[in-house]
Amino acid sequence: MTHSFDATVLREYDIRGIIGETLGAEDARAIGRTFGSMLRDAGGSRVAVGYDGRVSSPMLEHALVEGLTAAGCDVVRIGMGATPMLYYAEASDDEIDGGIQITGSHNPPNYNGFKMVFQGRPFFGADIQELGRISAAGQWADGAGDVEDRDVMDEYIERMVTALDGVDTSALEGMRVGWDAGNGAAGPALERLVAKLPGEHHVLFTEVDGNFPNHHPDPTVEENLADLRKLVSAKSLDFGVAFDGDGDRIGAIDGEGRVIWGDQLLMIYAEDLLASRKGATIIADVKASRALYDHVAACGGEPLMWKTGHSLIKSKMKETGSPLAGEMSGHVFFADEYYGFDDALYAGVRLLAASARLGKSVTQLRSDMPQMINTPEMRFQVDESRKFAAIEEVKERLSGTDADVNGTDGVRVNTADGWWLLRASNTQDVLVARAESDSEEGLERLVGQIDEQLALSGLERGESVGH
């Protein structure tokens, strides 16, 4: 027996496809059989499995477990929940060697996929390509693993609440917070979590519904924060927190309804953490504001710019011993008193803790930030064969000039006006562009430089496309 996947589903950071078109039960079974074989080959045998609230998730979970047990792995089924709950189950139990979460993340309802952990590290890139190769060759282990069901939600929530240990209770008691689960998988955990938090808490859309009837669960798109903004305004709350479909990305607004973007959240977390951990390395992706890197340095930290992608950031954290990292997309990773994975629920609790410890409201912390002027993330279609080649052409052209270029992930160019970025997406046939300045005129000049470089490579920015 062998199994070949549709060419589009084996991505850089995870496995993802459209149910009934590019992804189905046979794929899930093959993923389980192959992942299980790879894990056994590496000396492991026990896998935690969870799934999100999508309509197709239970079907995929059933087939995945069949594949894992057929490879001789024992399976710990933790049921429906947020992706970070699966990460917690894997990280907190020394007897568990790997983990797989079935989730379509922030994609439309007809998508689904798999996020994987292999012996404590992210399973991505070359690992996923190897999984495809082994499956196509049918090089599978044989066995008959056991299956057990385990409820980890209560202990997961207790673990998150420890983020408030030692924080001034009187400061926390006065906080009034809104939360929007967006009908995603984090809803049930959120309900239990806020019941244990000091202060006053108001929740929206905690009922899990894979059709996402209220709004799409992607908190990095401002229109998806409209319901949260209304709640915060109507009840005069201090701030609001929103989650994506599987609870590993956070979005936030302050008491005035202003969005607190991923890099701005990281500024707050970094200031809080660096008060007690001077000199720590704080990692952010290449899309993050210069204000963040400056703020980390001003607070006594070592800012490190790294490649976009949650798996790449997690790997860099392990390599550098960084206690905190984040991305513009709302993935925030705490290895400080936590496990180093991206957990939006935990990040929400840490926002309460940071505000209390710093002695400032979230609104004040947001107001204290420099008023940079940015473009949104501009994403535009480009032929797959031209995607990386075009970036190399830009690098080549700029290498012959006195431009200040950072080539960590694509091309990030610093100028007197600010900076601009052009990079190839690892998951889609798109180029991503962004620019930031402290003036509208400066921003216009930076966007002009992006357009100029694209034109020199026979491309144009055109219409921006979605995620």
User: Same structural domain for residues 293 and 354?
Assistant: yes
3-class SS at 449?
helix
Measured CA to CA, the distance from residue 340 to residue 188 in angstroms comes to: 23
Residue 432 near residue 465, CB atoms below 8 Å? no
Q: What's the pLDDT at 467?
A: 44
Residue 262 near residue 369, CB atoms below 8 Å? no
User: Same structural domain for residues 198 and 316?
Assistant: yes
Q: What's the pLDDT at 466?
A: 47
User: Same structural domain for residues 388 and 329?
Assistant: no
- What does the buried/exposed string (b/e) look like for 222-247 if buried means 16 or more CB atoms within 10 Å of the residue's CB? eebbebbbebbeeeebbbbbbbbbbb
Residue 122 structure tokens: 């992210």
User: Same structural domain for residues 144 and 288?
Assistant: no
Residue 183 near residue 212, CB atoms below 8 Å? yes
The upper half-sphere exposure of residue 162, i.e. CA atoms within 13 Å in the direction of its Cβ, equals: 10
| Residue that finishes a domain, picked among 367, 402, 434 | 367
User: Same structural domain for residues 190 and 70?
Assistant: no
- What does the buried/exposed string (b/e) look like for 33-63 if buried means 16 or more CB atoms within 10 Å of the residue's CB? bbbbbbbbeeebbbbbbbbbbbebbebbbeb
User: Same structural domain for residues 346 and 412?
Assistant: no
User: Same structural domain for residues 132 and 166?
Assistant: no
The answer as to whether 339 is a domain residue is yes
Instruction: Read off the pTM.
Output: 0.95
Residues tagged active-site: 105
User: Same structural domain for residues 327 and 350?
Assistant: yes
User: Same structural domain for residues 346 and 378?
Assistant: no
Please name the residues in contact with 202: beta carbons below 8 A apart, sequence gap of 6 or more: 176, 177, 178, 179, 231, 235, 237
Phi, psi dihedral angles at 78 (to 5 degrees):
-100, 0
| Residue that finishes a domain, picked among 151, 177, 194 | 151
- Write the single-letter amino acid at 260: I
Q: Which residue has the tokens 């996929």?
A: 113
| Residue that finishes a domain, picked among 151, 181, 203 | 151
The answer as to whether 5 is a domain residue is no
What CATH number is given to the structural domain containing 39? 3.40.120.10
Based on the structure, what is the number of domains in the chain? 3
Residue ranges of the alpha helices (H) in 197-301?
226-234, 262-274, 290-298
Q: What's the pLDDT at 431?
A: 94
Q: Please list the ranges in the chain whose pLDDT falls under 70.
A: 462-467
User: Same structural domain for residues 91 and 160?
Assistant: no
> Residue 241 sits in which domain range?
156-367
The answer as to whether 8 is a domain residue is no
Q: What's the pLDDT at 463?
A: 56
What CATH number is given to the structural domain containing 451? 3.30.310.50
Give the CA angle between residues 410, 413, 417 to the nearest 5°.
150
